[in-house]
Chain A
Amino acid sequence: MTTFDNMPDQDSMPDQDRIPRKHLDSRVRNYRSKTLVAGPSEPRELSESATFIWKLMDGKRSVAELAGALCVEYDIDRASALDDVADLILTLTRAGILTY
């Protein structure tokens, strides 16, 4: 299955083994140290940690791997990192920017 297929966006907490994938036509801009992402709706600004996760979402890393990287980068516990990654994935999924 490629990302050209119509995959329904999920609305539940992502499983740690799932791999989030950006929609091919999602948009991104880095302007003066701000990162903005957009799908079909209005652009939204990402926080610094969300930008860090966004950049690691390469269609290969799982939720667990993203959370692991966040733990190391920001020296936070795994549960908090998983929550942060899950929140971001759900937000961006609802905005039509990615799927998992």
Chain B
Amino acid sequence: MTVVTPHRCLELLAEHELLPAAPEAIYLAGSLVRGWGNPSSDVDVYVIVPEPWNRGDGETGPVSVAPGTVPIHAFIAEGRRWDVEYWTDSQVDELLGLVSWASFEAGRARAESLTTHETAFMQRLAFADVVTGAEWLSRRARQFDDAAVKTMIASRALYELDLLTEDAVGMVQAGDLHSAVLAARYAFGAAVEALLASHAEFNEQAKWRARRMEDVAPAELTFEDYWAIETMRDFDPTAPEKWVEDVLRVCQHIAGEVQL
């Protein structure tokens, strides 16, 4: 989906003194680009720079790569908020190293250490609307697609699924059915996240889960079955343990299908 023309994007960045002299790449991403936008959606812009962007008056987002933050500037234009996030090419290299197969197999790569900014950055490379630097974008998208990020995030989700399943089973045995229902709901969320991550869809924002399920359409779980559990369609308040067991069985099936 074209949010704005490349020329207009560059114009707006220049008007707000947010256009670096020699960017490696500039691209649009986020819900609007994916076709999921609504009237209040922000425009997310990524600017890749050879040297750190130091205008100094913006906000920062936490990242695990040095120096621990990325600058973010915001402005209003065309009736929307624009968030412009600046990454250096060396930060991208460092992030790629963190999610490499070598790091993963050596036990150094842990999805827990990635911030939401980093996860979003990596996911959005695959769904970007290039303004400038198409070669950079396609090269980086390919590099991250070949890295271990999908497996890292799916593994973390399966680990969370294991813990929540153990909790739900124990809670039912203890007669704590309210807690068991909640644990089963969260377990299902973790199972779906693992499934989606294994299909290279690791946005992890729960509000977009239905959209993501529709886009991926995984053979392992139909949208109808997914939606029935997500909305607790078959929950019977007089027999909550039945719902918990049914949901955990579906989770178990999903975990058995996820390929890491």
- A residues neighboring B (CB under 8 Å): 2-4, 22, 24-32, 54-55, 58-59
Query: How far does the alpha carbon of A28 sit from the alpha carbon of B194 in the complex, in Å?
Result: 13
Contact A25 B256 (CB under 8 A): no
Query: How far does the alpha carbon of A24 sit from the alpha carbon of B253 in the complex, in Å?
Result: 10
Query: How far does the alpha carbon of A25 sit from the alpha carbon of B253 in the complex, in Å?
Result: 12
Contact A31 B248 (CB under 8 A): no
In the complex, which residues of chain A have a beta carbon less than 8 angstroms from the beta carbon of B169?
Answer: 4, 24-25
Nearest residue (CB) in B for A26 is B252
Nearest residue (CB) in A for B170 is A25
Contact A29 B245 (CB under 8 A): no
Known contacts: A4-B169, A25-B169. The answer to whether A30 contacts B260 by CB under 8 A is: yes
Contact B249 A27 (CB under 8 A): no
> Could you mark each residue 214-233 of chain B with 1 if its beta carbon is under 8 Å from any beta carbon of chain A, else 0?
00000000000000000000
Number of A-B residue pairs having CB atoms within 8 Å of each other in the complex = 42
Q: What would be 26 A-B contacts, judged by CB atoms less than 8 Å apart?
A: A2-B241, A2-B245, A4-B172, A4-B241, A22-B252, A24-B165, A24-B168, A24-B169, A24-B245, A24-B248, A24-B249, A25-B165, A25-B166, A26-B252, A27-B255, A28-B252, A28-B255, A29-B155, A29-B255, A30-B256, A30-B258, A30-B260, A31-B260, A32-B260, A58-B253, A59-B249
Query: How far does the alpha carbon of A28 sit from the alpha carbon of B248 in the complex, in Å?
Result: 13
In the complex, which residues of chain A have a beta carbon less than 8 angstroms from the beta carbon of B165?
Answer: 24-25
Interface of B is mostly: helix
Nearest residue (CB) in A for B257 is A30
Q: With A27-B162, A59-B249 given, can you name 14 additional A-B contacts, CB distance below 8 Å?
A: A4-B172, A4-B245, A22-B252, A24-B245, A24-B248, A25-B165, A26-B252, A27-B255, A28-B255, A29-B255, A29-B260, A30-B258, A30-B259, A31-B260
Query: How far does the alpha carbon of A28 sit from the alpha carbon of B158 in the complex, in Å?
Result: 9
Nearest residue (CB) in B for A35 is B256
Nearest residue (CB) in B for A2 is B245
Q: Which 10 residue pairs are nearest across A and B when measured between Cβ atoms?
A: A31-B260, A24-B248, A4-B172, A28-B256, A25-B169, A30-B259, A25-B166, A25-B165, A24-B169, A27-B162
In the complex, which residues of chain B have a beta carbon less than 8 angstroms from the beta carbon of A25?
Answer: 162, 165-166, 169
- Give the shortest distance, in Å, between A40 (CB) and chain B (any CB): 10
- Give the shortest distance, in Å, between B242 (CB) and chain A (any CB): 7
Nearest residue (CB) in A for B167 is A25
Query: How far does the alpha carbon of A2 sit from the alpha carbon of B240 in the complex, in Å?
Result: 12
Nearest residue (CB) in A for B162 is A27
In the complex, which residues of chain A have a beta carbon less than 8 angstroms from the beta carbon of B248?
Answer: 24
Query: How far does the alpha carbon of A65 sit from the alpha carbon of B241 in the complex, in Å?
Result: 28
> Could you mark each residue 115-146 of chain B with 1 if its beta carbon is under 8 Å from any beta carbon of chain A, else 0?
00000000000000000000000000000000
Nearest residue (CB) in B for A23 is B169
Query: How far does the alpha carbon of A54 sit from the alpha carbon of B257 in the complex, in Å?
Result: 11
Known contacts: A24-B248, A25-B169. The answer to whether A55 contacts B256 by CB under 8 A is: yes
Judge whether B179 is part of the interface by a CB distance below 8 angstroms: no
